[in-house]
Amino acid sequence: MYGAPVTQQVRVRFTVEPNYAGWRLDRYLQEKIRRLSRERVQRLIEHRLETEDGRRLKPSTRVAPGLSFALLKDAEAEPDTPQAFAVVHDDGALLVVDKPAGLPVHPTARYAANTFTSLAKLRYPDRKVDPAHRLDRETSGLLACGTAPEVTKVLKRDFAHARVHKTYLALALGAPAEDAFTVDAPLALTGASAVRVRMHVAAAGLPSQTAFEVLARRRAPDGAPVALLACRPRTGRQHQIRAHLAHAGLPMVGDKIYGPDEEIFDRFTRRAMTDEDVALLRLPRHALHAWRLELPHPLTRAPVRLEVPLPPDLAAFWEGCAP
């Protein structure tokens, strides 16, 4: 006698970010799992949502920053992601890695196992490696982690209180009018776009400021001007650097949301990008790299300064541009 096939389930964990404060839970999850209908999201909340304290949440529950919960989902084949990362610094307490582009940091509705946190758990079974900040899946570069809860708590506090200085490298299309400039423009999720996760400059948004420095100027093979920029975010909003560059008329190379046509992102999620989309983007991922970190050590408080060069894909694009 044979039993029914057993469907394995995985827990996809969520922690509400500050910019979603006050949102309905069902709307928040629609932003995070954009391919699902509102009706489907509401069913998941009612039947497949778990909280740490066992509290029941409703679709209409207003979320607060820091709220954590998990959704149970049937395991399915995940998209391939890079399965290796380089260690830049490891002294037993502070672990800093060079995250490759394409590797999600935390589990999402689409990625449960193929994430940095899953890989770190396998690589360091005796340590509780926990990233102190986030990098988008397509963003490469430095990711700082604590290796024990008490260390991660200090790291996250340092990030929250602006004691950590981050510098990114970006390749942007266009010719900046000045070699150094600052974009000071509030950002918000307004729902005014077909891409629900797109941040917009809005008067009612959260204060957001990024300083930019032009490191070099070149031209792409098709003659388009390209600038290599050092980007120093002074606040920590979602997609801040990308949104501020687009606002300044300098869209990031390869950006599917803030680049030449935001509809490219929708076609990308449906695996329906056209040859024209590929040509417009010039790169298969957005050209943003977490280049430099300067922070106090979470235990000794001694200054730590780390840097990693552009990865091969961005370096090759830049080298292919004419001075």
Higher per-residue confidence, 10 vs 217: 217
Q: 211: helix, coil or strand?
A: strand
Report the pLDDT value the prediction gives residue 57, as an integer from 0 to 100. 94
Range of lowest pLDDT (119-133, 183-197, 214-228, 309-323)? 183-197
- Answer whether residue 226 shows pLDDT above 60: yes
What mean pLDDT, rounded, does the chain reach? 91
* Inter-CA distances, 290 with 166, 239, 254, 310, 311, Å: 7, 13, 16, 9, 10
Out of 74, 130, 136, 261, pick the active-site residue: 136
- Answer whether residue 8 shows pLDDT above 70: no
- With pLDDT > 70 as the criterion, what percentage of the chain qualifies? 93
- Answer whether residue 196 shows pLDDT above 80: no
- Answer whether residue 2 shows pLDDT above 80: no
**Domains of the chain, each with CATH number or no CATH:** 9-74 (3.10.290.10), 86-164+292-319 (3.30.2350.10), 167-288 (3.30.2350.10)
CA distance 136 to 238: 9
136 is catalytic: yes
List residues bridging with 232 in a β-sheet. Answer: 211
Report the pLDDT value the prediction gives residue 61, as an integer from 0 to 100. 95
Report the pLDDT value the prediction gives residue 109, as an integer from 0 to 100. 61
Report the pLDDT value the prediction gives residue 193, as an integer from 0 to 100. 76
CA distance 25 to 30: 9
- What burial class does residue 177 get, using C-beta atoms within 10 Å of its C-beta: 0-12 exposed, 13-18 middle, 19+ buried? exposed
**How many residues in total does the chain contain?**
323
pLDDT band at 173 (very low <50, low <70, confident <90, very high): very high
List residues bridging with 226 in a β-sheet. Answer: 173, 218
CA distance 18 to 107: 19
pLDDT band at 9 (very low <50, low <70, confident <90, very high): low
Report the pLDDT value the prediction gives residue 184, as an integer from 0 to 100. 98
Report the pLDDT value the prediction gives residue 7, as an integer from 0 to 100. 42
Half-sphere exposure of 46 (CA within 13 A, CB side): 8
List residues bridging with 99 in a β-sheet. Answer: 141
